[in-house]
Amino acid sequence: NNLDTLYRQVIMDHYKNPRNRGVIEDDSLTINMNNPTCGDRIQLTMKVENDIVTDAKFEGEGCSISMSSASMMTDAIKGRQVEEALKLATTFSDMMQGKDLDVEDDEDLGDIEALQGVCKFPARIKCATLAWKAMEKALHEEEK
Ligand code: FES
Ligand code: FES
């Protein structure tokens, strides 16, 4: 249906024109993570200054879902406090589990609705979650 087509367009746009692709060089947080079921992998680098994620970039190889999700995730956490970014990861995982959250007003989360709409099966949900898990893990370690 139309909504499905729209969702696919949003995802393909992030896949073909990824936001924040690259590596932050200077003393940034770095984490590598892969999806063991397919081997797709992501490297995430983030810069945290005064408890704020001031920059986030990703590199990697993977399916359109995992790469577009990484693009959305890096966009969504930039400028947020570490705690807020972690909260966002929880919100994301709730959305992927099918919870209906009202996120339309949050422009960073608007695109994520496309992932929620398209990823209905566990394998795909894993694809979508890869970048978010990486972010959560790296920020939790930073907090310690
Ligand atoms: Fe096909 Fe990930 S997009 S399983
Ligand atoms: Fe590997 Fe999607 S098929 S992350």
Residue ranges per structural domain of the chain: 2-143
pLDDT on residue 137: 96
Q: pLDDT for 22-41, tens place per residue?
A: 999 987 899 999 999 999 99
Pick from 36-40, 91-95, 110-114, 133-137: least confident: 110-114
Structure tokens given for 15: 């896949």
Radius of gyration of the chain (CA): 14
Mark residue 39 as left, alpha or beta (left: phi above 0; alpha: psi -120 to 50; beta: remaining). Answer: left
Q: Which residues line ligand 1 at a C-beta cut-off of 6 Å?
A: 63, 65, 123-124, 127
pLDDT on residue 113: 87
Q: How many angstroms does the Cα of residue 111 sit away from the middle of ligand 2?
A: 19
- Decide which of 3.30.70.580, 3.20.20.80, 3.90.660.10, 3.90.1010.10 is the CATH code for 2-143: 3.90.1010.10
Nearest Cα to Cα of residue 139 among 31, 42, 54: 31
Whether this model's pTM surpasses 0.95: no
What spatial distance separates the first Cα and last Cα of the chain, rounded to whole Å? 46
Above 0.90 for ipTM, yes or no? no
